[in-house]
Amino acid sequence: MIDTLIDITLLAFLTITAVAIIRMRNLFVIIMLFSLFSLHSAGLFVVMDAADVAFTEAAVGAGISTVLMLGTLALTKNHEEKRPSHHARLPMVVVLVTGGALIYGTYDIPSFGDPASPAQTHVAPHYIEHSMEDTSAPNIVTAVLASYRGYDTLGEVTVIFTAGIGVMLLIGGHLMRRFRQKDDR
Amino acid sequence: MKHNLILRLIAKYLFPVIALFAFYVQFHGDYGPGGGFQAGVILSVAFIFYTLVFGLKTTEEILPPYVLRILASTGVLIYAGTGVVTMLMGGNFLDYDLLSPKPAAGQHLGILVIELGVGITVSSVMLMIFYAFAGRGRS
């Protein structure tokens, strides 16, 4: 009961934040609202007992990405150009149809936490029953992430590393230049 | 922010607390929520907070960008290297069972090592990106 109440409250806040983001023109306010959006999602994940996901969402979504977006904002103007004058009718139709199809699709999805759903009957029981003796890690999420699915995590780390290289190549040149100047002196 | 004495003092005391929490999340990840990704982000946040109060120049003296570039690749190397080590020991890639005589202890060690690699890469890449954005406006 209390879970449902919290769910409804958080989802209402999510919707309000999303609408506010669409209507705002000040980019600084929008970034702050994005951070709030992530925090609400993190709250929802906690209600769903997904502590690890909530932790990541709070640290990455609400924390560091906000800082990085603020850093980007410092390099540009913090106000959006004036709103487009034309009415976006065709995009509106496309969005409504896609959204309707997605909502229709949810009727076939098994309900939350359904023990008979395919996700719960395939490999999940094996992880839950054997992860402690297989990996001696009490946190099943860590056992899956680091051991059973070690390749995927290696891929994720490589993606982050590649992202770092990409940013350095695009706008990180001054870091190298400044230190070369220091060497010359 | 030269004159905000209280802010500077609090930043100095908060930095070790945030860093300690990051290490807790890093090494406690197989018992509670958390792990390399979250710990890396939290550790980089500690440095970003320090930068916001003391300026980019001070932080770059503590942690120069070239160190970050080395650390970012070291993390991936630790992760992939663990896999190569297990291959050299005669198993599959990332088969931690062989790292120790007891398979479960080997798994524990392997998870700890690769999480460390993840943490190092994530924290240094996040800081690298932050340096790139924060230093761009001034030069």
What is the average pLDDT across A179-185? Answer: 53
Residue A32 belongs to some domain of the structure: yes
* Interface contact A133-B104, CB threshold 8 A: yes
- Rounded to the nearest integer, the mean pLDDT of chain A is 85
Phi–psi pair at A137, nearest 5 degrees: -110, 115
pLDDT at A185: 44
Q: Which of residues 89-118 of B touch A (CB under 8 A)?
A: 93-94, 96, 104-105, 107-108, 110-111, 114-115, 117-118
Residue A46 belongs to some domain of the structure: yes
Question: Model-level pTM?
Answer: 0.84
Lowest-confidence pick of A159-163, B29-33, B120-124: B29-33
Report in angstroms the alpha-carbon separations of A117 from A105, A112, A122, A123.
16, 9, 9, 12
Residue B42 belongs to some domain of the structure: yes
3-state secondary structure of A78: coil
Phi–psi pair at A26, nearest 5 degrees: -85, 115
What is the average pLDDT across B33-53? Answer: 90
Take residue A77 and report the two structure tokens written for it. Answer: 């103007």
Residue B95 belongs to some domain of the structure: yes
How many structural domains does chain A have? 1
Residue B139 belongs to some domain of the structure: no
Q: Strands, DSSP E only, in A19-152?
A: none
Taking only the tens place, the pLDDT of each residue in B98-137 is 888 888 888 888 889 999 999 999 999 999 999 888 887 6
Residue A139 near chain B (CB below 8 Å): yes
The partner residue sitting opposite A175, judged by closest CB among B31, B41, B131, is B131
Residue A169 belongs to some domain of the structure: no
Hey, which residues does A104 pair with through a beta bridge?
Answer: none
Residue A30 belongs to some domain of the structure: yes
* Interface contact A52-B30, CB threshold 8 A: no
Taking only the tens place, the pLDDT of each residue in A57-110 is 999 989 899 988 888 888 887 777 776 667 788 988 999 999 999 999 988 888
Distance, first Cα to last Cα, chain B = 19
If you ran DSSP here, which 8-state letter would residue A50 be given? -
Tell me the residue range of the domain where B108 lies.
5-134
In angstroms, how far apart are the furthest CA atoms of chain A? 69
Q: Are A161 and B76 in contact (CB under 8 A)?
A: yes
Residue A136 belongs to some domain of the structure: no
How many structural domains does chain B have? 1
Residue A22 belongs to some domain of the structure: yes
Tell me the residue range of the domain where A70 lies.
1-79
- Chain B neighbors of A157, CB-CB under 8 A: 75-76, 79, 117-118, 121-122
Calpha distance A21→A107 (Å, rounded)? 29
Residue A162 near chain B (CB below 8 Å): no
